[in-house]
Structure 1
Amino acid sequence: MSGVSLQPQELAAIAREFGTPVYVYHAEKIAEQYNKLKHAFSGSNVHFFYACKALTNPHILSYVRELGSNVDCSSINEVKLALHAGFEPERVLYTSNGIAFEEIAEAKELGVNINIDSLSNLEKFGAAYGHSYPVGIRLRPNIMAGGNLKISTGHDKSKFGVPVEQLEDILALVKKYDLFISNLHIHTGSDIKDADVFVKGIEVLFDIIPHFPELRSVDLGGGFKVPYKEGDAVIDIALVGAKVKEAFDSHPQAKGLQIWFEPGKFMVSECGYLVAEVNVLKQTPSTHFVSVNSGFNHLIRPMFYDAYHRIENITNTDAPKHTYSIVGNICETDTFAWDRELNEVREGDLLCFYNAGAYGFEMSSNFNSRYKPAEVLVKDGKPMLIRKRDVFEDLLRNIV
């Protein structure tokens, strides 16, 4: 909860200018987070690939590129967005996940870095390209990590990656097709607060690295935990950096290898704010409801992950506090928070949802035929509209 941030009066002014609900992103916060990473890993051969599935607005991608980060993509369209935003192909990483081989072939034609997550697609890649194009392999390390089972990706029941127990099958394909394996990738989950999780992953990779003499890099994924409320446990990035350096310095076979990380939420979560207006106050015998002009169609994380987002009344900041339940206007159970203390809420007040930069707008929808909100980027103190709010014609655009 430290560092640069936008103040309530700034957010309220942006909401009045651009309407509500509105997503607001603070460029300098993204820079602050990226600089934390660079400082923590300055002693190692580390390269960062922003996991853009967290937030793919091309203006954000362009800004991340200007900061010096590379970009990690989870679909061919994210690859195309990254190239559209100005990333050179060599700075783009595409990690496939259970997709048709045609998508991998398209990524190859675009010249980007590729990770493959199945034996099936690895064989197809070998048959098509042999040794002519370097490729990475996503491994499943069988490590449980992350703050929620829904976002833990490295355990033994996860769909992601090729299980490490199938190393002999991988090696057989490498030999059969003379594959050029340039990268080994693991990702254990999100909301990781324990630095030792990355050390465990490194240990798994060190047992495998000797089998791949052409290896150029190892990819340790991302998932660094960020704070959502005061007192939240977070990952010690400096400690991760120190432990990664110690591990790689002590293993001769790792000499010269690049170390890749894929920070997504860490870079953009705290830069984002969702500002909504209070539509209705509803007092019942058991609960005092505050209904806003947004819902899980705009911010699904509380309903999907039971995620906590700090909420503040930014237009009545000096009033006494009362307990409210904050709900959306969607015709489904649509609760942002139960029993939160807020400064007295009035109809027409503006509520701000913090930590809304990652998987906020990105997971939004037009459910209930409601419009997606506008997006605004604040850079050097100046707000700039980077996505217009939906209008009715947007709901009909692809209807035939």
Structure 2
Amino acid sequence: MQPKELLALAEEFGNPLYVYDAATIEQQYNRLTSAFSKVENLRINYAMKALSNITILKLLKKCGSGLDTVSFQEVQLGLHAGFSPEKIIFTPNGVSFEEIEEVAKLGVQINIDNLSVLEHFGAKYPKVPVCIRINPHVMAGGNSNISVGHIDSKFGISVHQMPHLLRIVENTGMHINGIHMHTGSDILDIEVFLYAAEILFDAAKNFKELDFLDFGSGFKVPYKKGDIETNIEELGKKLSKRFLAFEKEYGRTLTLAFEPGKFLVSEAGFFLAKVNVVKQTTSTVFAGIDSGFNHLIRPMFYGSQHAIENISNPKGKERFYTVVGYICETDTFANNRQISEIKEGDILSFRNSGAYCFSMASNYNSRFKPAEVLWKDGKGHLISKRETFEDLIKNQVEIEI
């Protein structure tokens, strides 16, 4: 999207504001399916925790996507958006057994990552098909906060526990129809991912009635010019070849599944905020915006670096700024960053704000959550309203003191 288009949306809908470009989401979905076009049965399950707005879900459904969910509430949202139960997979971690039961009753594919839960579920519901999440003990990403396939991760059943796992399956007579892994976000080296895939292929040989192999996701997207990203095309070529060979070895047609979240929506997102103050100290020039980590927590939480553009002055002379928010504790979006000269009232645009941004927003400091807009066919469509004071207090129960 162009600065003038974003500026017009900020003028129309106010700020702070989240904007998502529909064309970019569709392009990323098509890029992934094209990379694996040689696979007969390919299934993309959008990891909706990245961005769960109902309109975004409907857009991806129109593309042909299924859903990856991690809570009963996400399942409900998916069903509300029009996804059929068989197009949804439920991959929780540490939830109650009752929650897993509630999801199973809806006909959604269950994915279990705990031996005790697997045994309990198999004993109670032996005829319900179950997918198993394997921990391959592979560190494929560069950020320990979002890498989940390593040996110290709480996710998945260790591949070294396979004998115990097989004993549970044999004792309960349960039907295992899928096997899954997820190494986590920021896959830097596809060879490491392919190594983890071999572990999944080996594990799959233990189950004779599989319908699908799920390789999770974690594809890295570029956050700045020249940034490293996962080479999807090369991965598609190499993994497709290996998957087709495994199908022949296995003796039946299988579905190859992925669960991308960030890959599909990150680059489609822009977060727009107005500069309230420009403050010069003895060592730093601060640009203080009308937002904080209550709206965009990733820089503080993950150390992520979102590219920031002054769309009010995109071609101005660059100066160094530290961009901060209005929260009453340190909330720094960027340190000593080169940005076109900023003045009070300018609108800053934060790139790559489609994934894990609005979905992690809060009402900290009793601030309202921003509105969300979908840019589609050259027009901005409001897809969630800006919160009001009534939204802040609607669930509070006032009592006489």
TM range (shorter): over 0.9
User: What corresponds to 1:209 in structure 2?
Assistant: 204
1:217 and 1:259 in contact (8 A); partners too: yes
Match of 1:118 among 114, 121, 124: 114
Question: Which consecutive aligned stretches of 4+ in structure 1 deviate over 6 angstroms post-superposition?
Answer: none
Match of 1:27 among 17, 22, 27: 22
Unaligned runs of 5+ in 1: 1-5
2:187 and 2:193 in contact (8 A); partners too: no
Map Cα deviations across residues 266-313 of structure 1 (whole Å, 9 max, x no partner): 000000000000001110010000000011111111001110100010
User: What corresponds to 1:288 in structure 2?
Assistant: 285
Unaligned runs of 5+ in 2: none
Q: Distance in 2 between matches of 1:136 and 1:190?
A: 21
Q: Cα offset for 1:96?
A: 1.5
Match of 1:48 among 38, 41, 44: 44
Does structure 1 residue 142 correspond to structure 2 residue 137? yes
Match of 1:374 among 356, 371, 374: 371
Map Cα deviations across residues 235-274 of structure 1 (whole Å, 9 max, x no partner): 1111111111221233312741111101110000000000
User: What corresponds to 2:149 in structure 1?
Assistant: 154
Question: Residues 180-199 of structure 1: matches in 2 within 5 Å?
Answer: 180-199=175-194
Give the root-mean-square deviation of aligned CA atoms: 1.0
Q: Distance in 1 between matches of 2:314 and 2:185?
A: 33
Does structure 1 residue 171 correspond to structure 2 residue 166? yes
Q: Distance in 2 between matches of 1:198 and 1:82?
A: 29
Question: Residues 249-398 of structure 1: matches in 2 within 5 Å?
Answer: 249-251=244-246, 252-253=249-250, 255-398=252-395
Q: Cα offset for 1:193?
A: 2.6
Q: Could you say what secondary structure the match of 2:145 adopts?
A: helix
Map Cα deviations across residues 6-46 of structure 1 (whole Å, 9 max, x no partner): 11000000001100000000111100000100110000132
Q: Distance in 2 between matches of 1:217 and 1:197?
A: 21
Match of 2:72 among 63, 70, 76: 76
Q: Could you say what secondary structure the match of 1:59 adopts?
A: helix
The residue type paired with residue 5 of structure 2 is E
Deviates more, 1:106-115 or 1:194-203: 194-203
User: What corresponds to 1:92 in structure 2?
Assistant: 88
Q: TM-score, normalised by structure 1?
A: 0.97
Q: Could you say what secondary structure the match of 1:13 adopts?
A: helix
Q: Distance in 1 between matches of 2:252 and 2:378?
A: 44
Q: Distance in 2 between matches of 1:347 and 1:382?
A: 28
Q: Distance in 1 between matches of 2:112 and 2:331?
A: 37
Q: TM-score, normalised by structure 2?
A: 0.97
Map Cα deviations across residues 347-397 of structure 1 (whole Å, 9 max, x no partner): 000000000000010000001111100000111111111111111111111
Q: Distance in 1 between matches of 2:205 and 2:267?
A: 39
2:136 and 2:196 in contact (8 A); partners too: yes
The residue type paired with residue 79 of structure 2 is L
Q: Cα offset for 1:87?
A: 0.4
Q: Could you say what secondary structure the match of 2:272 adopts?
A: strand
Q: Could you say what secondary structure the match of 2:15 adopts?
A: coil
Q: Cα offset for 1:342?
A: 1.3
Report the number of matched residues.
Answer: 394
Q: Distance in 2 between matches of 1:47 and 1:289?
A: 46
Q: Cα offset for 1:141?
A: 0.5
User: What corresponds to 1:103 in structure 2?
Assistant: 99
Q: Distance in 2 between matches of 1:100 and 1:123?
A: 14
1:198 and 1:220 in contact (8 A); partners too: no
User: What corresponds to 2:219 in structure 1?
Assistant: 224
Q: Could you say what secondary structure the match of 2:228 adopts?
A: coil
Q: Distance in 2 between matches of 1:338 and 1:368?
A: 23
2:136 and 2:150 in contact (8 A); partners too: yes
Q: Distance in 2 between matches of 1:101 and 1:335?
A: 40
Map Cα deviations across residues 134-173 of structure 1 (whole Å, 9 max, x no partner): 0101111100111200111000000001111111111111
Q: Distance in 1 between matches of 2:173 and 2:219?
A: 36
Does structure 1 residue 16 correspond to structure 2 residue 11? yes
Q: Distance in 2 between matches of 1:196 and 1:88?
A: 35
Q: Cα offset for 1:398?
A: 1.1
Q: Could you say what secondary structure the match of 1:316 adopts?
A: coil
Q: Distance in 1 between matches of 2:139 and 2:339?
A: 36
Q: Distance in 1 between matches of 2:129 and 2:176?
A: 6
